Amino acid sequence: MVRFRPLLRPGLILVAFLTLIGGIVRVIRSPQGWPSMLENRRKVQEIERSNDELRKQMTEMEQRNERLRHDREAQDEEVRRNTFKQKPGETTVILPHDSKP
């Protein structure tokens, strides 16, 4: 009786290898493949940068709120700036807004 097993094994390995290569090529070239992954990674990095900037702004605002909550001089300064009022003896200069380029 003739054995065919040794001949089948290399053929199966070759078919499995070609199937694997075909799958890899399909993943890389498909719309949801490599280019899409790179684009998604870029978007995630952009969103992370935006989140970092927003966290920084939030921290600055919290510090400013804390300062305004406890510092009477900072409160007075903020009120004067927003209402254009001044303390006795102070001089405030308001410059016209220049609309010319």
Asked whether the whole model's pTM tops 0.85, one would answer: no
Token pair of 20 as six digits: 């694997």
**Residues 6 or more apart whose Cβ sits within 8 Å of residue 56:** none
Q: Specify the pLDDT at position 59.
A: 97
Q: Quick one: tokens of 92?
A: 């405030």
Mean pLDDT of 44-51: 97
Q: Could you give the CA distance from residue 70 to residue 64 in angstroms, rounded to a whole number? A: 10
What are the structural domain ranges in the chain? 38-82
Q: What is the pLDDT of residue 6?
A: 59
